[in-house]
């Protein structure tokens, strides 16, 4: 009788070792912190822009006499305090502006990111009627980035601890936090693709329909584009193809640079013609989580005269 126990055990042991090695490379193998630093800076700038636009109409959107009375504000379990007066709203807006600057320059960004998440929940729950997908993504990214060492490079903190020259160096960090952003990004692209299952997307006219809605277009209906059947069909089906590819193929390293470029082009086109708030810039920040940290380190190292110790 043939004994298969030993070969089977060896097979399982080899599979387990390969799984452990793949999991370590995916979540724990340290890489330069450049992508985290770039994402932190861009997130801080987007947060500043978002907060500044909210400050333009505090009274009408969030204040005591806003269109949505305080009694109808959403007070969910994640809302730790309510903004029941215009003064409280202004205090939250002011704190968010300070937080955005601190995050951008990298001064204790983890604490400011936690505060940002709490304040965003409070502000957004005050008037949930005005929220869009970009607002929700801003809040999600604030929470996820709070778990990462975003101040490890290109930050005031690194300057204070290691000197000015260290601004052009980056320590190695585990990438598991980036995986959270990447998974969030792929989920967004999946549902963006899945929601486009209607007839307008299948027959290739959806983009033309969207660009004819004057309330959401930036420059009105561009007739040279909306009346071009071939171009509209290519844009409609191309959008579906890009979103589906970004859902899955971003994990293929060889295809990643091309797909990131296509994602940039997609969001640039949308932002040029359609009013979608800060959704596009935030998705671009998410795409940068797939940037090759080792490639960035090589390019930056080639342009600095010396490499100081971390």
77 or 278, greater pLDDT: 278
Res 115: pLDDT: 96
246 or 21, greater pLDDT: 246
| pLDDT more than 70, % of the chain | 92
C-alpha angle with apex 107: 35 to 287, nearest 5 degrees?
20
Rg, Å, the chain Cα set: 23
Res 4: pLDDT: 64
CB neighbours of 81 closer than 8 A, spacing ≥ 6?
Answer: 122
Give the tokens for residue 62.
């969030």
List pLDDT tens digits, range 141-191: 999 999 999 999 999 999 999 998 888 899 999 988 899 999 999 999 999
pTM of the model: 0.89
Q: How many residues does the chain have?
A: 310
Q: 138: exposed, middle or buried (C-beta count within 10 Å: 0-12, 13-18, 19+)?
A: buried
What is the torsional sign of CA 286, 287, 292, 295? negative
CB-based contact 290:254 (threshold 8 Å)? no
Give exposure, 44-58, as e/b (b: 16+ Cβ within 10 Å): bbbbbebbeebbeeb
> Which has the closest alpha carbon to 80: 115, 114, 118?
118
| Residue 213 scores a pLDDT above 90 | no
Compute the distance between CA of residue 267 and CA of residue 227 in angstroms, rounded to an integer.
22
Compute the distance between CA of residue 255 and CA of residue 252 in angstroms, rounded to an integer.
6
pLDDT band at 78 (very low <50, low <70, confident <90, very high): low
């Amino acid at each position: 009788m043939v004994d298969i126990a030993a070969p089977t055990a060896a097979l399982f042991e080899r599979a387990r070792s390969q799984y452990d090695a793949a999991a370590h490379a995916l979540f724990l193998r340290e890489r330069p912190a450049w992508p985290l630093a770039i994402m932190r800076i861009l997130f801080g700038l987007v947060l500043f822009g978002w907060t500044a636009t909210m400050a333009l109409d505090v009274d009408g959107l969030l204040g005591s006499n806003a269109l949505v009375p305080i009694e109808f504000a959403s007070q969910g379990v994640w809302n730790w305090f309510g903004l029941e007066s215009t003064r409280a709203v202004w205090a939250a807006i002011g704190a968010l502006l300070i937080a955005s600057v601190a995050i951008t320059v990298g001064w204790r960004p983890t604490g400011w990111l936690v505060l940002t998440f709490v304040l965003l929940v409070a502000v957004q729950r005050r008037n949930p009627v005005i929220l869009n997908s970009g607002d929700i993504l801003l809040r999600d990214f604030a929470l996820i980035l709070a778990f990462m060492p975003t101040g490890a490079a290109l930050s005031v903190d690194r300057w204070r601890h290691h000197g000015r020259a260290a601004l052009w160096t980056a320590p190695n960090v585990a990438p598991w936090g980036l995986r959270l952003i990447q998974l969030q990004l792929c989920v967004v692209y999946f549902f963006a693709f899945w929601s486009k299952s209607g007839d307008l997307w299948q027959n290739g006219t959806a983009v033309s329909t969207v660009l004819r809605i004057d309330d959401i277009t930036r420059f009105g209906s561009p007739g040279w584009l909306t009346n071009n059947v071939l171009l509209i069909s290519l844009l409609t089906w191309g959008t579906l193809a890009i979103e589906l590819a970004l859902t899955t193929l971003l994990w293929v390293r060889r295809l990643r640079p091309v797909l990131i470029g296509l994602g940039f082009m997609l969001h640039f086109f949308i932002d040029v013609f359609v009013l979608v708030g800060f959704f596009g810039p935030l998705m671009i920040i998410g795409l940068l989580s797939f940037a090759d940290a080792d490639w960035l380190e090589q390019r930056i190292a080639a342009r600095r005269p010396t490499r100081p110790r971390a």
